[in-house]
Structure 1
Amino acid sequence: MPQPSAVIVAHGFPSDPGPQETVMQALAARVGDHLPGWVLRGATLAAPGALDAALEGLDQPLVYPFFMAEGWFTGTELPRRLDGRGRAVAPFGVEPDLPYLCARIVADILAQRGWQAGDTALLLAAHGSQRSRTSADSAFAMAQQLRTRLGLRQITCGFVEEAPYLADAAKGLGQAICLPFFALRAGHVIEDIPQALQEAQFAGALLPPLGEDAGVPELIARSLQKAARP
């Protein structure tokens, strides 16, 4: 029986692919800690040759898209790049267990701040797109899931690339938490989100991007185990 294997793939940052390539390799190692006996590798689509190198020597690995939504990259570009050398599974952003992870993140910051849920708003800061609805739809679906779990005063979504734009959605929220609905820390998370929040005079808590949470490697490992079952 071949050794089970998986490659975790992110989009990456085309103008400077190195740092995120390192991040993906580190994420693969942390996922591997939860999957003894597996071979885990990480790569980005942006780094030339990285995906081919990660697939080298593996026998039909599972391929885990570290993306926040299903769309052109997961549905068209990634299968094209794989060319039959692996089996892609559903992306990170539509994981069934992701709402539980988000709810735990929000509950933790409420406890740390001593805030009551009923007095607090949650702003999901997401990518959005002028060309596709999938990015926004994933964020809206997450907001709906969290409404049934947290008892917050308000849950709203704001986007970098479509309305409602983040600067508008963040205005007047008062006591609030902003959770970036992003897999990796890149330009939008580093620059666009803080700038939009500053423009809106947002005075709440800005959290790290969702994909950096310590619970993510175990979540991905569980998903890969389920996908590997006959």
Structure 2
Amino acid sequence: MTSAILIAHGSPADPEPQERAMQALAARVRLWLPGWQIRGTTLALPGALEAATKALPDALIYPFFMAEGFFTRRQLPKRLAAAGMKSPHQLPAFGHDPELPALLARTARAAAQTHGLPEAQTTLLLAAHGSQVSRASATITEQMAEALRQATRFHVVTGYVEEDPLLHHAAQILGPALCLPFFATRAGHVAQDVPQALAEANFPGPLLPAIGEHPQVAPLIAAALTRATTHVFSGPSFSV
């Protein structure tokens, strides 16, 4: 099996930009997997998922989501079945990739060095979505935060857009700080809600791009797809 569909939630209010972003991500992943057919799409743009599954009916499904929750376990399988895919092979969500903690650590360290911030004296704020109805987002975020505490010298804290500790409270930090958004795409939360919360809190440090925008995400996805084709599955690991 050498085809895959990368699927993100997208933005229902303005679906086209995220659809283009997923297509661009698919193109970058193809650079690491010569000979593969890879498409990127979203759930938000009407007809887009159906077009992708029609073009690649036997594709691996890669959920470009941060948590295994309602959308990956219920909504996405339902949409795939409605599109005619029978028993698709769906990989774990991006946020559960075993290589993601290491990428987070490298990203934070590089940013601290760029901005002249001493790691041991810097607070790393991991900003995430959260939810009032599900613990999925908070659970994986807190696991990532603990992995970063074990692997780095940052003082790591978490803040959420939709649950406590709310981001504008968590961001009230004195001293050197960085904010790293634990999001897959640059949609409304990353583009608007996160910067607004940091401004409200007078956050003292830089806001980094969402981790899903990192250039090393494409090879990370390519490696996950390769593991899937060779049936090498090691459950989520948080070692760095």
TM-score (norm 1): 0.96
Alignment of 1:162-181 (within 5 A): 162-181=163-182
Q: Distance in 2 between matches of 1:53 and 1:59?
A: 10
Aligned with 2:178: secondary structure?
strand
Q: Distance in 1 between matches of 2:55 and 2:97?
A: 28
1:188 positional shift = 0.8
Aligned with 2:159: secondary structure?
strand
CA deviation map 1:180-206 (0-9, x unaligned): 111111111111111111111101011
Q: Distance in 2 between matches of 1:36 and 1:124?
A: 34
Match of 1:146 among 138, 145, 148: 148
Alignment of 1:1-230 (within 5 A): 4-83=2-81, 84-85=85-86, 86-152=88-154, 154-230=155-231
1:59 positional shift = 4.2
Q: Distance in 2 between matches of 1:173 and 1:138?
A: 26
Query: Which letter maps to 1:42?
Result: G
Q: Distance in 2 between matches of 1:172 and 1:114?
A: 18
Q: Distance in 2 between matches of 1:70 and 1:223?
A: 16
Task: Name the CA shift for 1:113/1:87 in 2 (closer, same or farther; >3 Å).
Answer: same
Q: Distance in 2 between matches of 1:28 and 1:94?
A: 19
Unaligned runs of 5+ in 2: 232-240
1:40 positional shift = 0.4
Query: Which letter maps to 1:179?
Result: L
Judge conservation of contact 2:173–2:204 (CA < 8 Å) in 1.
Answer: no
Judge conservation of contact 1:117–1:151 (CA < 8 Å) in 2.
Answer: yes
Aligned with 1:206: secondary structure?
coil
1:116 positional shift = 1.3
Identity %: 52
Judge conservation of contact 1:160–1:192 (CA < 8 Å) in 2.
Answer: yes
CA deviation map 1:9-43 (0-9, x unaligned): 00000011111000000000100100011100000
CA deviation map 1:90-137 (0-9, x unaligned): 000011000010011011111112221111010000000000000011
Judge conservation of contact 2:112–2:119 (CA < 8 Å) in 1.
Answer: yes
Judge conservation of contact 2:10–2:43 (CA < 8 Å) in 1.
Answer: yes
Q: Note the aligned Cα RMSD (angstroms).
A: 1.0
Q: Distance in 2 between matches of 1:66 and 1:16?
A: 18
Unaligned runs of 5+ in 1: none
Judge conservation of contact 2:129–2:160 (CA < 8 Å) in 1.
Answer: yes
Count of matched residue positions in the alignment of Structure 1 and Structure 2: 227
Q: Distance in 1 between matches of 2:116 and 2:16?
A: 39
Q: Distance in 2 between matches of 1:195 and 1:108?
A: 24
Q: Distance in 2 between matches of 1:147 and 1:77?
A: 33
1:57 positional shift = 3.4
Query: Which letter maps to 1:144?
Result: E
Q: Which runs of 4+ in 1 moved over 4 A?
A: none
